[in-house]
Amino acid sequence: MEFRPTVAEELFRREVQSWLQATLPAGWCDGTFPRPKTAADRVAFARSWYGKLWEGGWAGLSWPREYGGRDLSNREHLVFSEEYVRAAAPDLIDVGVGPGLVGPTVIAHGTEAQKKRILPAILRGDEVWCQGFSEPGAGSDLAALQTRAVRDGDALVVTGQKVWTSFARFADWCILVVRTNPDVPKHRGLTFLMLDMRLAGITIRPLVEMTGVAWFNEVFLEDVRVPLDCVIGEIDRGWEIVITTLSHERASVTPYPRIQSELHGLVALLRSRADQAADPRLRQRIAALECEVEILRLSTWRSLGTTERDGRPGPEGSVLKLLWSELEQRLFELASEIAGPRGLLDEHDPAALEGGRWQYGMLWSRAATIYAGTSEVQRNIIAQRVLGLPRG
Ligand SMILES: Cc1cc2nc3c(=O)[nH]c(=O)nc-3n(C[C@H](O)[C@H](O)[C@H](O)COP(=O)(O)OP(=O)(O)OC[C@H]3O[C@@H](n4cnc5c(N)ncnc54)[C@H](O)[C@@H]3O)c2cc1C
C-alpha cells in the first residue's frame, strides 16, 4: 500500500484546488462572506453549495457513473477531502447523511429503481436525509429497537419513537430501522425502510445539545403508512443492511484532514504567545499530538486498501474511529488550556477568542466518542473481529 499520492493523484489535487479557488463564494476565505446564522439558513446554504459541487463534478466521487458519480478511487476521494479542508470550504455535515450513509447503502442493497430515484437526488443536493436508528432503549445495542411495523395491504404501518435523530427537522427522507417480527431473535425480524418525512403521523421535537445547537431531535411515529416500495432489501432481513450503513458511518467520518487543520490552528495560537510557546510541558504535548495526527494520516491511507479490496470498510475502521475521536478530545483539552479564559467564551460573546472556535470545538469533540459507535463498542469490535477474541 502506497501512503503517498501518485503523480496522477497530485494532478487531480491541482484540479480540486483550482476549482475550489474559482468557485468558493467571494469573501469566503477572508471571512467577509456572511456565514449562515440559524440552523435553517445553514442547511439551506449547505444544500445549495452541495448542488454546486455536483454541477462541478465533485459529488459522489467514488459512486458509479450510471447514478451520477465519477467512479473515482477512494484514494482520489481522500485527496479531494484533504484539499477541501485545506481551503476551509463549507462544512457539509448538515447534508452528510445522504452522501455518506444512504448512498453507499442503496448502492449495495437497493433495487435498480431505488438507485435511479435516490442517488441523483442526493448528489444534486435536492434531498436531505437523516438516520432514524437509535431509540430510547436501543443505542449501542441497536438490535433491541422496538419501533414496530405491521403489514397492511401495500404498506407497512409504523409506530414508535426514535431519538438523537440529527437534522430530522430539515430532512426530506430518513433511513429507518423497524421491527417487523417480534417473535424471532432480535437481530432477525428487522426491516430497513426509507421514510418520507412529509408523511402523516410524524412529529419531530428538537433537543438542544451542550454546544447550544439543536441538531438532535426526537421523532415520534404514529401509524405512519410507508409504501412497500420503500423497503430496502427484504422484510425481516434488515440487519445486514444496517451493518453496511454502520461500517460506512465509521469510515465516512474519518476526519484526519480536519483534525490536522485544528492542530495547525492550535500551533498558530501557541506561536502567538511567546511565554506559553516556551513552556516545555505544552511543547511536549503539542509535539505528541503532531505524531498522533501523522499516525492517523498514515492509518487512513492504509485503510483505503481494505475498502478497495472488499467493497466496504472492514472492522479496522473501528481502530481509526477510536484513534481520531480520542485524539480530537485530547487536542481540544490542550487547546482550552492554551486558550485560557477567553477560549471558554462562546461565539455570542464579543470577547471570545477566535470567534468561540476553541470553546465550540471542545464541547463538540465530546460527541465524537459516542456517535458512530461509542469507544467501548469500538474496542469490543476490535477485540472480537480484529483480534478474534470470544464475544464478551
Ligand atoms: C452527536 C451525535 C449525533 C447522533 N446522531 C444520530 C443520528 O442521526 N441517528 C441515530 O440513530 N443516532 C444518532 N446518535 C446516537 C448514537 O448512535 C448513540 O448515542 C450511540 O449509539 C450510543 O447509544 P446510547 O446513547 O443509547 O448509549 P448506550 O448504548 O446506552 O451506552 C451507554 C454507555 O454504556 C456503554 N456500553 C453500552 N454497551 C456496551 C458494551 N456492550 N460494552 C461496553 N460498554 C457498553 C457505552 O459505551 C456508553 O458509555 C447520535 C449521537 C451523537 C452523540
Compute the distance from residue 375 Cα to the ligand 1 centre, in Å.
Answer: 9
Grid coordinates belonging to 185: 431473535
Instruction: Read off the pTM.
Output: 0.93
Question: What's the CATH architecture for 253-386?
Answer: Up-down Bundle (1.20)
Residue 166 near ligand 1, beta carbon < 6 Å: yes
- CA–CA gap between residue 329 and residue 311 (Å, rounded): 31
What count of other Cβ atoms lies within 10 Å of the Cβ of residue 134?
19
Express each pLDDT in 336-354 by its tens digit: 999 999 999 998 999 999 9
Among protein residues, the one with the nearest Cα to ligand 1's atom 12 is 134
Cell 459516542 -> residue: 370
| Confidence at residue 93, expressed as pLDDT on a 0 to 100 scale | 87
Domain ranges of the chain: 7-95, 129-236, 253-386
Please state, rounded to an integer, the average pLDDT across all residues of the chain. Answer: 93
- CA–CA gap between residue 11 and residue 163 (Å, rounded): 44
| Confidence at residue 316, expressed as pLDDT on a 0 to 100 scale | 77
- CA–CA gap between residue 151 and residue 155 (Å, rounded): 6
Alpha carbon distance, N-terminus to C-terminus of the chain? 33
Instruction: Determine phi and psi for 359, rounding to 5 degrees.
Output: -65, -50
Compute the distance from residue 16 Cα to the ligand 1 centre, in Å.
Answer: 36
Residue 129 near ligand 1, beta carbon < 6 Å: no
Cα separations in angstroms, 64 against 68, 104, 248, 322, 384: 7, 10, 16, 30, 33
**Quick one: average pLDDT of 87-97?**
91
Express each pLDDT in 143-157 by its tens digit: 999 999 999 999 999
Residue 165 near ligand 1, beta carbon < 6 Å: yes
- CA–CA gap between residue 318 and residue 379 (Å, rounded): 7
- 169 pLDDT band, cuts 50/70/90, is very high
Whether 27 has a pLDDT exceeding 80, the answer reads yes
- CA–CA gap between residue 304 and residue 3 (Å, rounded): 10
Helices (H), 103-255: 103-109, 112-123, 239-252
Whether 7 has a pLDDT exceeding 80, the answer reads yes
Residue from 370, 380, 384, 389 whose mutation best tests the ligand 1 pocket (most atoms within 8 A of CB):
370
- CA–CA gap between residue 4 and residue 301 (Å, rounded): 8
- Closest ligand 1 atom number to CA of residue 140: 29
* High-pLDDT (> 70) share of the chain, %: 97
| Structural contact between residues 320 and 299, judged by C-beta atoms closer than 8 angstroms | yes
Task: Give the chain's length.
Answer: 392
Compute the distance from residue 286 Cα to the ligand 1 centre, in Å.
Answer: 30
CATH 1.10.540.10 fits 7-95, yes or no: yes
At 132 the three-state DSSP class reads strand
CATH class of this structure's domain 129-236: mainly beta
Residues linked to residue 196 through DSSP beta bridges, in sequence order: 173
Whether 253 has a pLDDT exceeding 60, the answer reads no
Residue 255 near ligand 1, beta carbon < 6 Å: no
| Confidence at residue 146, expressed as pLDDT on a 0 to 100 scale | 98
- 167 pLDDT band, cuts 50/70/90, is very high
Whether 218 has a pLDDT exceeding 60, the answer reads yes
- CA–CA gap between residue 37 and residue 298 (Å, rounded): 36
Express each pLDDT in 40-70 by its tens digit: 899 999 999 999 999 999 999 989 999 999 9
- 1 pLDDT band, cuts 50/70/90, is low
- CA–CA gap between residue 228 and residue 279 (Å, rounded): 64
Compute the distance from residue 141 Cα to the ligand 1 centre, in Å.
Answer: 8
Residue 384 near ligand 1, beta carbon < 6 Å: no
**Which is higher by pLDDT, 304 or 202?**
202
- CA–CA gap between residue 43 and residue 98 (Å, rounded): 13
| Structural contact between residues 321 and 314, judged by C-beta atoms closer than 8 angstroms | no
At 294 the three-state DSSP class reads helix
**Quick one: average pLDDT of 87-109?**
93
Grid coordinates belonging to 137: 432503549
Is 253-386 in the same CATH topology as 7-95?
no
Express each pLDDT in 293-314 by its tens digit: 999 998 888 888 776 777 666 7
Q: Which helix (H) or strand (E) holds 7?
A: helix 7-23
